[in-house]
Amino acid sequence: MKRYPRSKLNSFCCSYIISGSVEEAAVRAGFPRETALAGGIELLKNEECRSLIAELRELLSDSGSVAAGLKRLAFGSCTDAVYLVFADELPPAEVIEGLDLFNVSEIKRIKGGGVEIKLFDRLKALEKLFELENAYAGRDKAESLIKALGADGESESLDDN
């Protein structure tokens, strides 16, 4: 099994947790786009990589993929979309393929030759993220209460013996 530099492995694992895309994570970790999917799959075969992904998922378990997507919408960069809008002519397909357009909700060509790009609403993403995090916090409080009540019941039953 091929060994990868720790920085590349870390970058791939973090990007994979956030995006859920093997190919995108591999590109962000430094693989050429042409070999990114194969390289990412090869990394996933690595036990150290799978272990790190599991550890990161455990650390970020309150997030999940929905929260990760919302965070990406709320805090992600829109520089590639701006580049596309202000390009004098349509970039080649391989350039477009490498752009991060996750925050783009709609692209259309308008009369007169212009391009209109709509981005997802960051404020709505933040609101949904806030709601989601509050739901997790409420769930954690309920679990703590149940554990505390269960612990009291156990100590009482021990005292009865």
pLDDT (tens digit per residue) in 117-147: 999 999 999 998 888 887 766 666 656 666 6
Structural contact between residues 30 and 15, judged by C-beta atoms closer than 8 angstroms: no
Lowest mean pLDDT among 26-30, 42-46, 110-114: 110-114
Q: Residue 109 pLDDT > 90, yes or no?
A: no
Closest CA to 14 of 45, 53, 41: 53
Q: Which CATH number fits domain 1-61: 2.70.98.10, 1.10.10.1400, 3.40.50.150, 1.10.10.10?
A: 1.10.10.1400
On the CB side of 14, CA atoms within 13 Å amount to 8
Rounded-to-integer distance, Cα 29 and Cα 13, Å? 9
| Domain spans in the chain, listed from the N-terminal domain onward | 1-61
Q: What is the pLDDT of residue 90?
A: 83
Q: Is the pLDDT of residue 157 over 50?
A: no
Give the pTM: 0.49
Closest CA to 35 of 65, 7, 2, 81: 2
Residues 6 or more apart whose Cβ sits within 8 Å of residue 122: 73, 74
Rounded to whole angstroms, the Cα distance separating 24 from 15 reads 8
What's the pLDDT band for 51 if we cut at 50, 70, 90? Answer: very high
